[in-house]
């Protein structure tokens, strides 16, 4: 019988200690104020202005990069076309008169030049699409800061 009585006393003591620790933990959290008000998401006006100017810089950088990349694509296209012309001219010089190889080389040169134009146009369109997606994202972030 005495052991039951002791077990009941220990159970009561456990509950008192657990409830005391829980109350202390809650009081500590409330005293720190972390769960009542969280002002960390409120931006200061200076931070909004700095963020907006950084977004403008990023947007300008994207435009400059897109233009330089499109210039690179145009240069590559011109070099491919020039190489195709040179190869056709070499075949023309190597063969006498109008024969099958000469006609095939001219046809291939025309095909290569046409493909270079198409590939360059597709690549430049993809560059523009990527730039536009980035600019829309930047504009969305700017709008979020200004609202």
Can you give the pLDDT at residue 70?
A: 85
Query: Residue length, the chain?
Result: 147
Can you give the pLDDT at residue 1?
A: 46
Q: Please provide residue 63's backbone torsions phi and psi, each rounded to the nearest 5 degrees.
A: -65, -45
- Where are the extended beta strands (E) located within the chain? none
Q: Does 71 lie in the same domain as 23?
A: no
Q: Does 61 lie in the same domain as 123?
A: yes
Q: Does 140 lie in the same domain as 98?
A: yes
* Residues of the domain holding 80: 43-146
Percent of the chain that is helix, strand, coil (3-state, to 5): 85, 0, 15
**Inter-axis angle of helices 100-146 and 45-94, to 10 degrees?**
180
Beta-carbon contacts of residue 62 (< 8 Å; ≥ 6 apart): 131, 134, 135, 138
Q: Does 55 lie in the same domain as 32?
A: no
Q: Does 10 lie in the same domain as 61?
A: no
Q: Does 79 lie in the same domain as 17?
A: no
Is the C-alpha dihedral spanning 62, 63, 68, 72 positive or negative? positive
Can you give the pLDDT at residue 32?
A: 66
Q: Does 54 lie in the same domain as 28?
A: no
Can you give the pLDDT at residue 49?
A: 58
Q: Please provide residue 36's backbone torsions phi and psi, each rounded to the nearest 5 degrees.
A: -90, -55
Q: What are the mean pLDDT values of the chain's consecutive 10-residue runs (147 residues total)? A: 65 82 75 57 56 74 84 87 83 72 80 87 87 83 72
Can you give the pLDDT at residue 119?
A: 87
Q: Does 47 lie in the same domain as 37?
A: no
> Tokens representing 81?
């076309």
For the chain, the domain total comes to: 2
């Amino acid at each position: 019988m005495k052991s039951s009585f002791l077990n009941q006393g220990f159970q009561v003591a456990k509950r008192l200690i657990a409830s005391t620790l829980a109350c202390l933990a809650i009081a500590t959290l409330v005293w720190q104020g972390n769960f009542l008000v969280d002002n960390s998401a409120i931006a200061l006006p200076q931070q909004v202005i700095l963020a907006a100017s950084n977004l403008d810089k990023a947007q300008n950088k994207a435009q400059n990069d897109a233009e330089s990349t499109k210039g690179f694509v145009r240069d590559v296209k011109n070099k491919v076309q020039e190489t195709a012309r040179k190869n056709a001219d070499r075949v023309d010089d190597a063969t006498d008169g109008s024969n099958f190889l000469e006609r095939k080389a001219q046809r291939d040169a025309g095909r290569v030049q046409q493909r270079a134009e198409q590939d360059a146009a597709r690549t430049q369109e993809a560059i523009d699409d990527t730039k536009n997606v980035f600019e829309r994202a930047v504009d969305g972030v700017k709008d979020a800061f200004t609202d």
